[in-house]
Structure 1
Amino acid sequence: MRPRLLLAVPAAVLPLVLASCAAPADPPAPSTAPPGTPSATGTPAATGTPSTPSSPTATTPPEPRDPSPVATGLTSPWGLARYAETIFVTERDTGRILRLDGDRAVELARVGDVDASSEGGLLGLAINPAGDGLFVYYSTARDNRIARYPFDGRAITGDPEVILDNIPVASIHNGGQLAFGPDELLYASTGDATERGSAQDRNSLSGKILRLTQDGRAAPDNPFDNEVFSLGHRNVQGLAFDDSGRLFASEFGQNTFDELNLIERGGNYGWPEVEGTQGSDSDEFIAPLRVWRTDQASPSGLAHARGSLWMAGLRGERLWEIPLTADGTGEPRAHFADEYGRLRAVLGEGDSLLVGTSNTDGRGDPRDGDDKILRVALG
């Protein structure tokens, strides 16, 4: 596995409740990416040419503090997006798209053909830079799909259009994250849908990160002349761009290693041939930046803020901070371990984060007010 080190940093209504509390940090994970010589590539700009990241400025690591609920009483929130000053949320199990509006959560739409059995349902959410399209990733009984809703910046203004379908679906490993890149293209993560070998098949949509135009076509400079941007993924549920335009992904491992990867155009991340740091002497596969035990992480949402990546842990029940440094990543630090239960969604907001819990998804232990969207100040 080719070692990969980072070169440089970059309408229903629900009650809302405000409160404040704090929680101690947890010790960092001991595991790291394997040593080796990094390859000099970056995240593509609109032309597909790798961008040159800027060097980071040394700063004091941000200290998360004062989590306060922005919304409570939600049902399995999954996707988080922001446009202007307004926050939007998807609920996996209900199929609802919500706007958080002062002291209310307003239902904008309900996706009618969502199949929320097991790990499927209404998943990722993204709003295009122009603010005229709201995109969702969701499971039906026969496939996973991406749809675009017409949008005016606050409300959905018409019926959805499915822009990509026939993404393989299964009870588990559906991927589901959406993010717009600095190239204004839509990036989507898919799982292997339990067909492990499909992750290595360039012509399959499963086990991939896809790169699409806003009408669902393959971006014209994609590496394999189809929708596929990178391959060899088991189940990516977190995508985040840093200030230099680099794309990072958080990925569920099988039984041992969860991963944080820096995504390269056409890169092969090894699944199912390798997991974590296995096969690190191979030039065929790209090794992760960091690995965790699955009981420490089981990662879902990923965000970039204040020079660090922030990764939500489901089974790990904690928020991981991964500093980005001039030659890789700093030692990860865990925050809020066991304080709020399963953490699913993360969204950067400048000097704060939004973090969504996932305790009502059938695998957690619901606590008072669950599920919640928390605002976490970065000191």
Structure 2
Amino acid sequence: MRPSPSTDVRRTAGASLTAVLAGALLLTGCGAPQAAPTSPAATSATATPTPTPTPTPTPTPTPDAEPLPDEPETFAEGLDAPWSIAWTADGIPLVSERDTGRILEFDDEGEAREVGTVAGIRHGTEGGLLGLAVHEGDLFVYFTASDGNRVVRYDLLGTAGRYRLGDRDTLLEELPFSPVHNAGRIAFGPDGMLYVPIGDARNPSAAQDPDVRRGKILRVEPDGSVPSDNPTKGSPVYSMGHRNVQGLVWDDDGTLYASEFGQNAWDELNVIEPGGNYGWPIVEGTGGEGRGFIDPIATWRTSSASPSGIALVDGTIVIANLRGEVLRAVSTSDPGTQREYYAGEYGRLRDVAVGPDGALWILTNNTDGRGDPRSGDDRILRVDPASVTAD
């Protein structure tokens, strides 16, 4: 049995984040940096334009903040299959543990405290407590239940060091699930809508059925209702033809990027267009453009990737890779320009995100049953994004 978070999840780096977070919270926002990505030429005939979002400035440390580390430093260790990281409005990191169902908050010394345990979780293989997102003071959670995957919203009560889960509302339920391909990443876009990737749940052909919630990215209001400007009136489906999307991030101009697990050939990085069809299972990787599908902007052999969470900073998409055990940097202006970092050094990488301190925060995932845990796993790492570039 694992010890309680107060003794098991611990800080190993010496530097405190107090000054960093205090300075960063003075910023006006923490969105993605400005860049002009190259989008695929193919578009869907059913695509419906969405309003142009207001760009949010990139988070950068203030002059009096502590320098960010050039190499990854361990912020906390001893986590149990961490899956997703998100931040409260006051800059407190929250992390989900897939198998325990716990949501943890961390103080500036990397000490963990349990915010709560999500009730009704069915964990096993790839299911369990998955994605987190914070929006207007509420905590949104994607998890596997006995009757399928679901998305719920919690009142997030309290303050730093005292956060707790309040009342819970179910927004989406009975989403298809299976031991694998459950997707699970959730994120709010610059338009204020909640984006929810749904895996094909081992039924590949359903990804091509617009009326079946498998192999899709859904777009809903914060209350779970369907936005009036979705590609198909009355449908939550935003894009289709996906196998297992596990990463979402937006550029300043509203471009949505998604990382996607392939089957036996190609993993993908896609630019998501409203109403777009990405070809699975008819196409894996490129080659679908002439058949009405949208090709990925970058692909990798499945043996070297398994792309999960993604972040975007200074025109570079940063991808956490599980099977590949690397952090991969891809240029948005030229996706063929790429570099890999920390190959095999930290094992499987599940999530990466830009924190309010301007650092890249990385979750390792070696205790998920598929990795090779080492002393201290699993970990939260921090690194200066300036040291992770595509060129």
Fold shared by both chains (TM-score > 0.5):
yes
For residues 39 and 173 of structure 2, the distance between their equivalents in structure 1, rounded to whole angstroms, comes to 39
Residue type at the aligned position of 2:74: P
Residue type at the aligned position of 2:197: S
Alignment match of 1:16 (pick from 10, 13, 16) = 10
Structure 1 unpaired stretches of 5+: 1-10, 21-34, 55-62
Match of 1:101 in 2: 107
TM-score normalized by the length of structure 1:
0.84
Match of 2:267 in 1: 258
Residue type at the aligned position of 1:74: L
Deviation at 1:109, TM superposition (A): 1.1
Residue type at the aligned position of 1:184: G
CA shift digits 1:141-179 (9 cap, x unpaired)? 220000101024642351321111011010000000000
Q: Give the CA RMSD over aligned residues.
A: 2.5
For residues 248 and 65 of structure 1, the distance between their equivalents in structure 2, rounded to whole angstroms, comes to 26
Identity rate, percent: 46
Match of 2:217 in 1: 209
For residues 276 and 300 of structure 2, the distance between their equivalents in structure 1, rounded to whole angstroms, comes to 21
Alignment match of 1:136 (pick from 141, 148, 157) = 141
For residues 231 and 38 of structure 1, the distance between their equivalents in structure 2, rounded to whole angstroms, comes to 17
Instruction: Tell me whether 1:160 sits opposite 2:168 in the alignment.
Output: yes
Deviation at 1:38, TM superposition (A): 2.5
For residues 272 and 252 of structure 2, the distance between their equivalents in structure 1, rounded to whole angstroms, comes to 15
Match of 1:146 in 2: 151
Alignment match of 2:312 (pick from 272, 280, 304) = 304
CA shift digits 1:194-251 (9 cap, x unpaired)? 0111111111111111101111111221112211100000000111111222111000
Alignment match of 1:346 (pick from 346, 349, 352) = 352
Match of 1:235 in 2: 244
Structure with a larger share of its residues in helix? 2
TM-score normalized by the length of structure 2:
0.81
For residues 245 and 308 of structure 1, the distance between their equivalents in structure 2, rounded to whole angstroms, comes to 15
Query: What is the SS of the residue equivalent to 1:295?
Result: helix
Tell me if structure 2 keeps the 8 A contact 1:149–1:156: no
Task: Please show how residues 69-218 of structure 1 align to structure 2 within 5 Å.
Answer: 69-83=74-88, 84-103=90-109, 104-128=111-135, 130=136, 132-152=137-157, 154=160, 155-218=163-226
For residues 195 and 37 of structure 1, the distance between their equivalents in structure 2, rounded to whole angstroms, comes to 27
For residues 52 and 287 of structure 1, the distance between their equivalents in structure 2, rounded to whole angstroms, comes to 27
Query: What is the SS of the residue equivalent to 1:158?
Result: strand
Residue type at the aligned position of 2:101: G
For residues 92 and 36 of structure 1, the distance between their equivalents in structure 2, rounded to whole angstroms, comes to 34
Residue type at the aligned position of 1:273: I
Tell me if structure 1 keeps the 8 A contact 2:40–2:294: no
Query: What is the SS of the residue equivalent to 2:207?
Result: helix
Alignment match of 2:41 (pick from 33, 38, 41) = 38
Q: Using a 3 Å threshold, how does the CA distance of structure 1 residues 94 and 337 change in structure 2: closer, same or farther?
A: same
For residues 117 and 209 of structure 1, the distance between their equivalents in structure 2, rounded to whole angstroms, comes to 23
Deviation at 1:12, TM superposition (A): 4.3
For residues 108 and 36 of structure 1, the distance between their equivalents in structure 2, rounded to whole angstroms, comes to 40
For residues 36 and 151 of structure 1, the distance between their equivalents in structure 2, rounded to whole angstroms, comes to 37
Q: Using a 3 Å threshold, how does the CA distance of structure 1 residues 53 and 289 change in structure 2: closer, same or farther?
A: farther
Greater mean alpha carbon deviation, residues 227-236 or residues 95-104: 95-104
Q: Using a 3 Å threshold, how does the CA distance of structure 1 residues 157 and 338 change in structure 2: closer, same or farther?
A: closer
For residues 266 and 176 of structure 2, the distance between their equivalents in structure 1, rounded to whole angstroms, comes to 24
Residue type at the aligned position of 2:211: N
Query: What is the SS of the residue equivalent to 1:281?
Result: helix
Greater relative contact order (Cα < 8 A, sep 6+): 1
Tell me if structure 2 keeps the 8 A contact 1:313–1:319: yes
Residue type at the aligned position of 2:103: I
Residue type at the aligned position of 1:48: T
Q: Using a 3 Å threshold, how does the CA distance of structure 1 residues 340 and 168 change in structure 2: closer, same or farther?
A: same
CA shift digits 1:42-79 (9 cap, x unpaired)? xx99x72466999xxxxxxxx99310111100000001
CA shift digits 1:19-42 (9 cap, x unpaired)? 39xxxxxxxxxxxxxx9972589x
- Structure 1 ranges of 4+ moved more than 6 A: 51-54
Structure 2 unpaired stretches of 5+: 15-37, 57-67, 387-391
Number of residue pairs aligned between Structure 1 and Structure 2: 339
For residues 53 and 217 of structure 1, the distance between their equivalents in structure 2, rounded to whole angstroms, comes to 25
Q: Using a 3 Å threshold, how does the CA distance of structure 1 residues 182 and 266 change in structure 2: closer, same or farther?
A: same
Match of 2:70 in 1: 65
For residues 257 and 69 of structure 2, the distance between their equivalents in structure 1, rounded to whole angstroms, comes to 21
For residues 315 and 216 of structure 1, the distance between their equivalents in structure 2, rounded to whole angstroms, comes to 33
